[in-house]
Amino acid sequence: MQRTISKQLAITYLDTRLNKCDSAIATMQLESYYTNDEPPLKIGAINPVSRQYAHDIGDTVDVEPRILVNYGCLLTNVIRSEFLEKYIRSQR
């Protein structure tokens, strides 16, 4: 589903198991955004650590309501990226 980003919220650093961690040992980051829907929808993107947002305000992105990473992890309202696809393939 196409959504337009209206606000960049936060960058959370993640380890290889998608757990929060210190930025010094992070292997990826979770970027949080709000969309311009009413009410705003909180969405996320998982990308390699860059300490910067991959998407700008006004960007239109494809948001998946649910993505199964593995049998113990389900992501909701997430932007499907090439990096995330490679991560999911490595978990199965």
Note the pLDDT of residue 91. 82
- Is the confidence at residue 56, as pLDDT, over 80? yes
CA angle 72, 17, 47 (to 5 degrees): 110
38-48 pLDDT, tens digit each: 999 999 999 99
60-92 pLDDT, tens digit each: 999 999 999 888 889 999 999 999 999 999 886
| Rounded Cα distance, 5 and 63, in Å | 11
Evaluate whether 56 touches 6 at the Cβ level (below 8 Å): no
| 7 pLDDT tier (thresholds 50, 70, 90) | very high
| DSSP of 29-57 | EEEEEEESSSSPPEEEEEEES-SS-SS-T
